[in-house]
Amino acid sequence: MTPFTEKVINIIQNIPKGQVMTYGQIAGLAGSPRAARQVVRILHSMSRKHQLPWHRVINAKGQIALQDDDAFNEQILLLEMESVEVDHKRTIDLATYQWLP
């Protein structure tokens, strides 16, 4: 596992309940601000193995980026269970819910 991957996993594991982070924010904190897509790859391939709270990671617009309807709806449900409000446009207010470690 690369040092970048280890940092990404650690960052995601530490996102508190009721908070979210963006792919780009995680990439930047892990030392590679232009590697948001790599964060997506890590989430996709390692969420189950490392029990990552994948639902707490969203895009820079405050939106859920998943295309699969089931996963999309699951992410909304998991966020709402943590008291994160998802508005009628399916957007999360980053000013309120973004975690800034």
**Domains of the chain, CATH where assigned:** 3-96 (1.10.10.10)
Beta bridge partners of 58: 22
Considering the entire predicted model, what is its pTM? 0.93
Name residue, tokens 């707490």. 56
Structure token pair of residue 72? 């999309």
Q: Are 41 and 3 in contact (CB under 8 A)?
A: no
Alpha carbons 20 and 79: distance in angstroms, whole number: 9
Low-confidence ranges of the chain (pLDDT < 50): none
Q: Which helix (H) or strand (E) holds 58?
A: strand 57-58
What's the pLDDT score for residue 51? 95
Q: At what angle do helices 36-50 and 3-13 cross, to 10 degrees?
A: 70
Beta bridge partners of 20: 98
What's the pLDDT score for residue 94? 97
